[in-house]
Structure 1
Amino acid sequence: MGFECPSAAAVTTVHVTGFKKFHGVSENPTETIVNNLKEYMNKKGLPKGLAIGSCNILETAGQGALVPLYQALQSSINAKDSEFSSSNKIIWLHFGVNSGATRFAIERQAVNEANFPCPDEMGWKPERVPIVASDGAISGIRETTLPVEEITRALAEKGYDVMTSDEAGRFVCNYVYYHSLRFSEQNGTKSLFVHVPLFFTIDEETQMQFIASLLEILASVC
């Protein structure tokens, strides 16, 4: 695919998050996906060079998600420093649902703007405010360093209905992704956000197969 890592001994550890229910989505598919991921991959077989680290379900709330998110982000750095060599890689893989979507979306970027269309699960409804004030204007963008076009193309070649997206919204998904990208930039890790449809649109087994394929591709990403 053109982006294989040169070192066969390198290990990529993928830490995963999903979200709980929120307004209009009483059953979030990402909660099911992330809760079942380790068991599913153990049965299927993990790709060579890949390990699954933590799997966390976040509140669908800006401030409510931050404490567990940063605890998990920091613990992954601490584990890397104590257990793994510096040549090994960490990827943060975040899943969120787009209830109106009909296909998967690999998100390229997050915007420094919180402009929630409805209150989050803790009742917060920010309007056009920066996610991180010290980063400046709400027009600021952070992009993933992972090759989203190649990842999307590889998934499409496997038969999945998937697109690259430059718009992660302005709700909690974008909020979490922005913080994760910022942390990754500061700590030498990588971050990626993927939007999935409801199970009503793409069934659970197909979504699990999609994520297994995505993990296989990420195992090869430098």
Structure 2
Amino acid sequence: MSNDPKILLTGFEPFGGEPVNPAWEIARALDGEALDGARIVARRLPCVFGAALDTLAAAIAETRPRLVLALGQAGGRCDLSIERVAINVDDARIADNAGAQPVDAPVLVGGPAAYFTTLPIKAMVAGLRAAGYPASVSQSAGTFVCNHVFYGLQHALAGSGVRSGFMHIPYLPEQAARHPGQPSLPLATLIDGTRLALELALRTEQDLREPGGAIS
């Protein structure tokens, strides 16, 4: 593998009966692209508790990235949702792809209650919106495998100086066609928006300080 700096971009395999996962479709489309002197390296994670973190750890060790962004599908969301906080809870409404369904279990026994992202999330959202992409700061990554990976990622890189975080992605139109009333965005829009999100993360030294919380 070449010695150029790496951006690790992960996406999950399909889950929940879906034939496709937009998170992985985005990641593999951007694999190999160069941004600000760094090269994007995409890795697909299994939608499986535990195994996803093993795959993630191997990818981090292999790539030694300067930035990590994990992507996940969130049916029902309408924009690029950049997550603020990962919590130390696995509580699965449905089984993962290996049939596991943990309830009220810690991601890491004895670990902190939560980790915050180290990405400049408000600057990223502002930049995305200015460019015409729907985006928001999200206060919850859920309690399924997405949050599991987000928490494991932040734990693995805590104190390393490597910026990292998680972004949720809406359905693709072909998925929304099977879920009437659910929002979606075209794959090309999601790819371009994710590329811009990575550029903003790389170029932003200090995050914006502006209101971006939620009342409920």
TM-score tier by shorter-chain length is: 0.7 to 0.9
2:114 matches 1:127: no
2:163 matches 1:170: no
Q: Please give the alpha-carbon distance, in whole angstroms, between the structure 2 residues aligned to 1:170 and 1:36.
A: 27
What secondary structure is seen at the aligned counterpart in 2 of 1:32? Answer: helix
How far does residue 33 in structure 1 lie from its aligned partner after superposition? 1.2
Letter in 2 for 1:17: T
Residue of structure 2 equivalent to 1:100: 76
Q: Please give the alpha-carbon distance, in whole angstroms, between the structure 1 residues aligned to 2:61 and 2:203.
A: 24
What secondary structure is seen at the aligned counterpart in 1 of 2:9? Answer: strand
Letter in 1 for 2:13: K
Change (3 A) 1:50 1:170: farther
How far does residue 17 in structure 1 lie from its aligned partner after superposition? 0.4
Residue of structure 2 equivalent to 1:203: 186
Q: Please give the alpha-carbon distance, in whole angstroms, between the structure 2 residues aligned to 1:135 and 1:219.
A: 28
What secondary structure is seen at the aligned counterpart in 2 of 1:55? Answer: strand
Change (3 A) 1:12 1:150: farther
Q: Please give the alpha-carbon distance, in whole angstroms, between the structure 1 residues aligned to 2:48 and 2:171.
A: 19
Contact 1:14 1:50 in 2 (8 A): no
* Percent of residue pairs identical: 27
Contact 1:142 1:178 in 2 (8 A): yes
Letter in 2 for 1:219: L
TM-score normalised by structure 2 residue count: 0.83
Is there any run of 5+ residues in structure 2 with no aligned partner, and where? Answer: 174-183, 206-216
Contact 1:12 1:219 in 2 (8 A): no
Of 56, 59, 63, the residue aligned with 1:69 is 56
Structure showing greater relative contact order (alpha-carbon pairs closer than 8 Å, 6 or more residues apart): 1
Q: Please give the alpha-carbon distance, in whole angstroms, between the structure 2 residues aligned to 1:114 and 1:61.
A: 11
Contact 2:81 2:135 in 1 (8 A): yes
What secondary structure is seen at the aligned counterpart in 2 of 1:22? Answer: coil
Residue of structure 2 equivalent to 1:6: none
Q: Please give the alpha-carbon distance, in whole angstroms, between the structure 1 residues aligned to 2:104 and 2:37.
A: 39
Aligned length: 192
Residue of structure 2 equivalent to 1:25: 18
Q: Please give the alpha-carbon distance, in whole angstroms, between the structure 1 residues aligned to 2:167 and 2:139.
A: 11
2:43 matches 1:56: yes
Contact 1:151 1:217 in 2 (8 A): yes
Residue of structure 1 equivalent to 2:196: 213
What is the root-mean-square deviation in Å for CA atoms of aligned residues?
A: 1.7
Letter in 2 for 1:65: A
Residue of structure 2 equivalent to 1:34: 27
The runs of at least 4 aligned residues of structure 1 exceeding 3 Å deviation read none
Residue of structure 2 equivalent to 1:13: 6
Q: Please give the alpha-carbon distance, in whole angstroms, between the structure 2 residues aligned to 1:190 and 1:60.
A: 23
Residue of structure 2 equivalent to 1:184: 157
Q: Please give the alpha-carbon distance, in whole angstroms, between the structure 2 residues aligned to 1:13 and 1:75.
A: 10
How far does residue 211 in structure 1 lie from its aligned partner after superposition? 1.3
How far does residue 186 in structure 1 lie from its aligned partner after superposition? 4.1
How far does residue 221 in structure 1 lie from its aligned partner after superposition? 2.7
Q: Please give the alpha-carbon distance, in whole angstroms, between the structure 2 residues aligned to 1:64 and 1:122.
A: 10
Contact 1:18 1:34 in 2 (8 A): yes
Q: Please give the alpha-carbon distance, in whole angstroms, between the structure 2 residues aligned to 1:12 and 1:106.
A: 23
2:117 matches 1:150: no
Q: Please give the alpha-carbon distance, in whole angstroms, between the structure 2 residues aligned to 1:26 and 1:162.
A: 25
How far does residue 26 in structure 1 lie from its aligned partner after superposition? 2.2
